[in-house]
């Protein structure tokens, strides 16, 4: 069958804005960060059990992806290093016991979970943010169960014991260098979209217990106060991590999800109107204000795991504070505590509208660009009342993640069709290979004859197809069901930085849709 019968390509290539109808007012933005954390430590989310067979691991991970794809999420933040271990093959850390039941033991049959997870996530249109916990080395003090290749065994001089766990000493130059090499290896070997750190920097303070880094302080402080020196250790490590990532792959983002309170107003007039028992600046020695000021972070994702009107740490007050105190050097998203739904002592979490209302609230701030939810199991076959509200309202339509901060540019390549092959259940469209841009996805838009294509309208996004590189061309498959429902279609490219190209318009003639068997 001639592709001219099936789809007529418009003679002109139109831009994303010129010639289309105006963007409708909608509560569903075209671009929005919608993420979920998938925690592996202690088998919180995945694998469900550390004794699960490989095939069950894969089935369970795909169930998580499919659940959040149906909810129109677009980012997964997957924990791949939780305590000096790894969910991927490496000589820099032993295999995680949360994957195979025994630290240092590879999966059987062997596979690379990280490579596999990235591929499955990209096939479903998700960004993959690789989540590292840099400083925590163990969850307890039982060294007998550690692999002999673990750093606690190999480099005990790197470690500090604190309240039942081992931690890498953030002050040691050799520790910082090693931890950066861990990041460099993953960025180099794997097709990740971001490196992600959570809120664990120096450990949460335990009253009356000191983190014993006195020897390091005497050796390296150079006259700085002890607490300023600790913050400087963190800042130096983060600055060098950012530089290492960008040197290898400039499009890979560096994002951090700090504790939700920077400082209380009671100790600093610039702080938030909160009464948090611990804060980033004073207890974890983490200073997000410095990270933004230094321009060595792509996004901030503060964890606001409280209800909107919480008396000591109000989600509403904290959203406003972060909005007012985040500068243009970093994107700002908000972390939401979906794990508290129907389980917390704060009864506000028993209201199914709490999470939807939090999303609506954050959308009211111009520079808060989305939300992330801890953790994945909260919506996998659970809390249907909440997920139904999200499906019908806040997340009714798909959304594309934002462009990497300070990386907005024109995508010079535009989809150009070289061949169309009508198959039984889909139409395979072959596009000329883009030569001037590194492309991540092809976006398919569709409407009926009654409506103009508007690529700024998220309700018209009908498919997001992972770009699989070949030498001369790329073939994408558009399900026949989509083409039967949409008379007008358009294609765009999205590059690795998240920039979207101009659109190529298509016209679908449903009456002439035929399968190979019809010919």
Note the CATH number of domain 33-392: 3.20.20.80
Nearest C-alpha neighbor of 273 from the set 314, 243, 301: 314
- Confidence (pLDDT) at 509: 54
DSSP 20-78: SPPPPP-SS-SB-EEEEEE--GGGSSSSSSTT--HHHHHHHHHHHHHHHHHTT--EEEE
Residue with tokens 């596979």: 111
Model pLDDT, residue 517:
33
Distance, CA of 302 to CA of 263 (rounded, Å): 13
- Residue range 3-25+407-518, CATH number: 2.60.40.10
Distances (CA, A) of 356 to 345, 375, 397, 399, 481: 19, 16, 15, 16, 31
Q: What is the pLDDT of residue 26?
A: 44
Q: Which helix (H) or strand (E) holds 119?
A: helix 113-123
pTM: 0.93
pLDDT of residue 471: 64
Domain ranges of the chain: 3-25+407-518, 33-392
User: Consecutive 10-residue runs of the chain (519 residues): their mean pLDDT?
Assistant: 36 35 57 98 98 98 98 98 98 98 98 98 97 98 97 98 98 98 98 97 96 98 97 98 98 98 98 98 98 98 98 98 96 98 98 98 97 98 98 97 96 90 83 92 88 92 85 78 80 97 76 36
Phi-psi region of 381 (alpha: psi -120 to 50; beta: other; left: phi over 0): left
pLDDT the model gives residue 477: 81
Same fold: 3-25+407-518 with 33-392? no
How many residues are there in the chain?
Answer: 519
Rounded distance between C-alpha atoms, residue 395 and residue 34, angstroms: 9
DSSP SS3 for 450: coil
């Amino acid at each position: 069958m001639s592709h001219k019968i099936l789809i007529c390509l418009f003679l002109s290539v139109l831009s994303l804005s010129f010639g289309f109808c105006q963007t409708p007012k909608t509560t569903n933005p075209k671009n929005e960060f919608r993420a979920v954390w998938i925690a592996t430590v202690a088998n919180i989310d995945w694998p469900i059990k550390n004794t699960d067979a490989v095939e069950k691991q894969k089935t369970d991970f795909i169930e998580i992806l499919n659940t959040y794809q149906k909810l129109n999420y677009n980012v997964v933040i997957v924990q791949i290093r939780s305590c000096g271990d790894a969910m991927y093959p490496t000589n820099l850390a032993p295999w995680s016991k949360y994957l195979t039941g025994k630290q240092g033991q590879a999966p059987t049959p062997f596979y690379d979970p990280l490579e596999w997870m990235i591929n499955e996530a990209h096939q479903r249109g998700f960004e993959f943010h690789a989540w590292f916990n840099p400083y925590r080395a163990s969850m307890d003090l039982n060294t007998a169960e550690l692999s002999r290749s673990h750093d606690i065994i190999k480099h005990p001089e790197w470690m500090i014991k604190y309240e039942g766990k081992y931690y890498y000493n953030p002050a040691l130059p050799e520790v910082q260098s090693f931890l950066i090499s861990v990041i460099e290896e993953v960025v180099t070997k794997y097709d990740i979209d971001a490196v992600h750190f959570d809120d664990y920097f120096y450990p949460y303070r335990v009253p009356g217990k000191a983190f014993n880094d006195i020897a390091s302080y005497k050796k390296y402080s150079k006259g700085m106060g002890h607490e300023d020196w600790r913050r400087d250790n963190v800042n130096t490590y983060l600055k060098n991590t950012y530089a290492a990532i960008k040197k290898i792959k400039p499009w890979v983002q560096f994002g951090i999800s700090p504790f939700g309170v920077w400082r209380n107003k009671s100790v600093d007039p610039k702080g938030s109107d909160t009464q948090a028992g611990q804060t980033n600046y004073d207890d974890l020695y983490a200073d997000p204000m410095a990270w933004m000021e230094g321009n060595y972070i792509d996004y901030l994702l503060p964890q606001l795991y409280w209800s909107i009107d919480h008396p000591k740490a109000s989600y509403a007050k904290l959203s406003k504070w972060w909005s007012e105190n985040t500068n243009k050097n970093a994107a700002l998203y908000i972390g939401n505590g979906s794990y508290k739904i129907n389980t917390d002592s704060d009864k506000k979490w028993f209201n199914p509208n709490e999470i939807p209302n939090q999303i609506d609230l954050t959308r009211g701030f111009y520079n808060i660009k989305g939300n992330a939810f801890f953790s994945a199991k909260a919506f996998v076959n659970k809390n249907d009342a909440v997920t139904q509200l999200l499906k019908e309202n806040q997340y009714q339509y798909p959304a594309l993640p934002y462009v990497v901060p300070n990386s907005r540019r024109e995508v010079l390549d535009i989809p150009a069709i070289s061949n169309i092959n009508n198959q039984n259940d889909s139409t395979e469209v072959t596009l000329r290979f883009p030569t001037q841009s590194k492309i991540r996805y092809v976006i398919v838009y569709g409407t009926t004859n009654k409506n103009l294509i508007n690529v700024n309208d998220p309700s018209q996004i009908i498919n997001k197809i992972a770009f699989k590189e070949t030498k001369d061309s790329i073939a994408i498959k558009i399900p026949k069901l989509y083409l039967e429902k949409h008379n007008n279609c358009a294609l765009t490219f999205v590059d690795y930085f998240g920039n979207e190209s101009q659109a190529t318009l298509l016209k679908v003639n449903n009456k002439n849709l035929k399968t190979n068997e019809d010919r």
